[in-house]
Amino acid sequence: MNRFGIHLVLTLAVSLAPEGHAADRVDAAVERGVKFLVSHQVKAGVADQLGSFEVADEPVRWAARNTYPMTALAVMAMAAVGHQPTEPGGAGEAMRLGINFLIRSNPARDRQSGYFGVDGSRMYGHGITTLCLGELLGMGVDKAQDRRIRPELEKAVDLILRAQQVPKFNPIYQGGWRYEPSSNDSDLSITVWQVMALRSAQNAGLRVPPQNIDLAVRYLERSYQSPRDGGGRPTNPRTGFGYVPQSRPQFATTAAGLLSLQVCNKLDAPEVIGAANFLETMDINPEILWFYYGMYYYSQGMQKRANDDPNSEGSQQARKARENVERVMLHQQKADGSWEAANRTENDAGKIYCTSMAILSLSVKYHFLPIYQH
């Protein structure tokens, strides 16, 4: 069965639940969030913005101009909770318009070989948008849209691969990415989006050389903050990932490093186990720095710790993390269905970003997006 078929079966399984079965609080919250996103899609006005998502007159500095990643996150959020671009009206139409916006011809992007960071979002936006296209390949409204997605995705992946090969000024940064395709250093927060994008594209059938994934994995391992034994294995069983190698581990970077290694099939790596142990000890609350960013990775990464034994350490960590995510996220949702910045680190993020990330965090209940499936 292809990826679209799997998605369709899962969607039908939800839609065929017994009539009268009351949707739980998570179902209700994500649908209110989806409605908020749909209601803030650009459907009139400036032609080259049609299909993007924005909250008019929102007092944020950078969210409004980062149209590619905002649209990509909104579309992924809808897909993550079971919506498809084949649906009539509502979320389905919004997804179709959003995909069309992402792959519409853009002279600035074309001049830079498919670089989605031309809207000011830099490699953050490029990685997020590439990830979205990889997840949606095969889910287009028709074959014509699929045929338009693939070449844009191929160009985007090629740019990521080229950027990784730029010589770094210090060997500890080799294998990672930073703000620009030409950057000669790396950080974890940008690297993880590129890793996710490459693995998604690889899953969708695009060629991604294994050595590029291996280089990225080694960079991620260097960002794990622990002494190493003679065999190179970390000796600290409860620590996390730093923003750059040799920096202090934090919640958001540890969660991001955790999921990134997991999607590279390092499910039982000591860095994965140590990061999960570190996250398990943290007080999960909205005052955490980079709250929505961290919660997205925390939710998906800790869920992947679950296994067939419900009493195992991994399964218990997954269960507790899901409880934490639902407890905090449901409390943070606003009356209009949106989420907004919880602390100063995301004040400029805007409601489209926060709402999309919140929905993606709650979406572990559904397991629709291929990148997050076991």
229-256 per-position pLDDT tens digit: 999 999 999 999 999 999 999 999 999 9
Whether the CB-CB separation of 241 and 275 falls below 8 Å is answered with yes
Instruction: Specify the pTM.
Output: 0.93
11-41 per-position pLDDT tens digit: 433 433 333 334 599 999 999 999 999 999 9
Q: Is residue 231 part of a domain?
A: yes
Q: Is residue 11 part of a domain?
A: no
Size of the chain in residues? 374
Rg (CA), the chain: 20
Q: Is residue 8 part of a domain?
A: no
Q: Is residue 17 part of a domain?
A: no
- The domain tally of the chain equals 1
Q: Is residue 13 part of a domain?
A: no
How far apart CA 72 and CA 174 sit, in angstroms, is: 28
In this prediction, the residues of the chain whose per-residue pLDDT falls under 50 are: 1-22
Residue 16 is predicted with a pLDDT of 33
Q: Is residue 4 part of a domain?
A: no
What CATH number is attached to the domain comprising 328?
Answer: 1.50.10.20
Whether the CB-CB separation of 193 and 124 falls below 8 Å is answered with yes
- DSSP result, 248-272: -B-HHHHHHHHHHHHHTT-TT-HHH
Residue 187 is predicted with a pLDDT of 98
Rounded to the nearest 5°, which phi and psi values hold at 242? -100, 165
Q: Is residue 337 part of a domain?
A: yes
Domain carrying residue 188: 24-372
